[in-house]
Structure 1
Amino acid sequence: MQQLEEQIAHLTRTVDELNEIVTRQQSDIDVLKRRVQMLMEREAAREAEGSGGVVMGDERPPHY
């Protein structure tokens, strides 16, 4: 009986630790989602105003 109680205590501790990890990861994912959304909006605004400015290999840069 004592062995079962020890196993339950160990499993309970492991579940608590994993829960903390998953909670922290979800927080990190939420932050990253907001950052990606912000970058997507910034890029969309840049494309809308036409200043995306990708220089092709044989194209002269605008300062020439």
Structure 2
Amino acid sequence: EIPIIGMGGISNFEDVVEFIRVGSTMVQVGTLNYRDPSLISKMNDKLKNFLTINKINDISELIGNYSE
């Protein structure tokens, strides 16, 4: 029940999905945000599209659902 914030090495929305699927309830983007301030918005749009395409109603459905 403790929130986990994943950070380090997140450079695209696929990384965000991976961090969430292994248990992160939130993610943090650092350095890349300085290089491209619009990055968060772009990743958020791609993440929303990913959820829609995969018929996922709530991002919480992804948390910890990683399986090989």
TM-score tier by shorter-chain length is 0.3 to 0.5
Q: Which has the higher contact order (CA 8 A, sep 6+)?
A: 2
Larger Rg: 1
TM-score w.r.t. the length of structure 2 is 0.30
TM-score w.r.t. the length of structure 1 is 0.32
Structure having the larger proportion of residues in helix: 1
Structure having the larger proportion of residues in strand: 2
